[in-house]
């Protein structure tokens, strides 16, 4: 029987991944290891709490004892746990270093000591930095610009170093901007949806012409599953949708779909060091058989519907939202 450890499983992508994994692996035992920071929410997995294949440990990935104990007998580790919000990293990067770098290094040491068979590290297209044109390939240089991106690039270097130095069987997956159900409402798409629903201003950084490659969380989780099963040890895989949108276009669509007026848009002082454009080339992962299934506009409509019916989930979280959008 496969024993799987997921870190950060109470967050947005981790919770979607756990739901998908359990639906596809009836014989697996899955342990969710999460500190429950402001972004961690047990409500995200309420529907599977009673599943006897699932268990939960509340702990910090930078605690070596907790990491080693959770990893005993673990076949597969999927490492999502991170401080994930760029705005917060600009205000104070200390937790980003502690969790994203030291925490990852702690897990790597425990994985090596416990003989974990596969370590799947979740990373981001933000490690490439801003691209004026084209799409980044896995071998392109990293050029992280925000403290968040710098901490994720650093974590990747430690994963690679553990693979090269100790032979740790690691695979890295770099995802583009995710959206979908259970995303904390300080992130761009749920912030705009929930503000629009509440008839509150939609704060847009600068001119709003920032381009992101939007991938639905289910497609990203499928990409991670495939990389876990068929990815080559020591390799890195980009996972992007090919659906590029300027922020202002996303906002215009959200306003249209929620029936709110364009007068709700507020241009605010730009984010410091704001990356203009991200784009990745995902041919390497696609050659293994993965392809995103969900189209952006249709999935955005579904996501809006999910937030409309899930006000009891997101309304209490709005009080925890931090932004440098002023
Ligand atoms: P999230 O902020 O929604 O969730 C993070 C989870 O990690 C939370 O449940 C939190 O409690 C947990 N956590 C934080 N610090 C911890 C610690 N020290 N010990 C144990 N648990 C801890 O993040 P997300 O958006 O789901 O992102 C998950 C991963 O995917 C991150 O590594 C992120 O860098 C990466 N990623 C995210 C996106 C995106 O668009 N959201 C895109 C590409 C990659």
Atom of ligand 1 nearest to the CA of 98: 18
Q: Whose CA is nearest to atom 28 of ligand 1?
A: 80
Residue 76 sits at the vertex; the CA angle it makes with 107 and 56, to the nearest 5 degrees, is: 70
The two structure tokens encoding residue 37: 């920071």
Considering just the CA atoms, what is the radius of gyration of the chain in Å? 19
**Protein residue with its CA nearest to atom 15 in ligand 1:** 82
Q: Is the CB of 144 under 6 A from ligand 1?
A: no
Please work out, in degrees rounded to the nearest 5, the angle formed at the alpha carbon of residue 49 by the alpha carbons of 67 and 104.
20
Taking only the tens place, the pLDDT of each residue in 143-172 is 999 999 999 999 999 999 999 999 999 999
Sign of CA dihedral 180, 228, 176, 108: positive
Those residues whose C-beta lies under 8 Å from the C-beta of residue 8, and which sit 6 or more positions away, are 14, 33, 34, 40, 79, 80, 81, 82
Q: Which residues contact 105 (CB under 8 A, 6 or more apart)?
A: 155, 158
| pLDDT (0 to 100) of residue 325 | 64
Candidate from 38, 81, 176 with most ligand 1 atoms within 8 A of CB, to mutate: 81
100 C-alpha to ligand 1 centroid (Å): 9
For residue range 202-238, what is the model confidence (pLDDT) as tens digits?
999 999 999 999 999 999 999 999 999 999 999 999 9
E runs forming strands in the chain: 3-7, 29-34, 54-58, 76-79, 118-124, 170-175, 177-179, 202-205, 211-216, 236-239, 244-246, 265-268
Per-residue pLDDT reduced to its tens digit, 272-291:
999 999 999 999 999 999 99
Alpha carbon of 9 to ligand 1 centroid (Å): 8
pLDDT single digits (tens) 60-117:
999 999 999 999 999 999 999 999 999 999 999 999 999 999 999 999 999 999 999 9
pLDDT 10s digits, 19-64: 999 999 999 999 999 999 999 999 999 999 999 999 999 999 999 9
Residues tagged active-site:
125-126, 148
Q: Per residue in 301-321, pLDDT tens? A: 999 999 999 999 999 999 888
* Sheet containing 177-179, strands listed edge to edge, beginning at the edge strand earlier in sequence: 177-179, 211-216, 244-246
Q: Helix 247-258 crosses helix 188-197 at what angle (to 10 degrees)? A: 30
**Atom 33, ligand 1: which residue's CA is nearest?**
84
Residue 74 CB–ligand 1 contact under 6 Å: no
């Amino acid at each position: 029987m496969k024993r799987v450890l997921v870190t950060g499983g109470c967050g947005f992508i981790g919770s979607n991944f756990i739901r998908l994994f359990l639906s596809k692996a009836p014989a697996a035992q899955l342990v969710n290891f999460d500190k429950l920071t402001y972004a961690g929410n047990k409500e995200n997995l309420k529907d599977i709490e009673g599943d006897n294949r699932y268990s939960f440990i509340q702990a910090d990935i930078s605690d070596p004892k907790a990491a080693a104990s959770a990893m005993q007998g673990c076949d597969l580790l999927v490492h999502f746990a991170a401080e994930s919000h760029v705005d917060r990293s600009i205000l104070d990067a200390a937790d980003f270093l502690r969790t994203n770098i030291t925490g990852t290094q702690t897990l790597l040491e425990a994985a090596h000591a416990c003989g974990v068979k596969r370590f799947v590290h979740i990373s981001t297209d933000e490690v490439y930095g801003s691209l004026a044109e084209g799409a980044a390939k896995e071998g392109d240089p990293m050029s992280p610009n925000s403290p968040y991106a710098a901490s994720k690039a650093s974590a990747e270097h430690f994963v690679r170093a553990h693979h090269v130095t100790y032979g740790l069987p690691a695979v890295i997956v770099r995802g583009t901007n995710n959206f979908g159900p259970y995303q904390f409402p300080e992130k761009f798409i749920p912030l705009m949806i929930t503000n629009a629903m509440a008839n509150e201003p939609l704060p847009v950084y600068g001119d709003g012409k920032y381009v992101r490659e939007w991938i639905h969380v289910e497609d990203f989780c499928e990409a991670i599953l495939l990389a876990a099963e068929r990815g080559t040890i020591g390799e890195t895989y980009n996972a992007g949708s090919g659906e590029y949108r300027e922020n202002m276009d996303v906002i215009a669509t959200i306003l249209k779909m929620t029936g709110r007026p364009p007068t709700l848009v507020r241009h605010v002082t730009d984010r410091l060091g704001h990356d203009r454009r991200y784009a990745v080339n995902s041919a390497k992962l696609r050659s293994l058989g993965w392809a995103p299934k969900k189209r952006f506009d249709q999935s955005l409509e579904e996501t809006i519907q999910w937030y409309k019916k899930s006000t009891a989930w997101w309304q209490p979280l709005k009080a925890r939202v931090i932004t440098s959008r002023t």
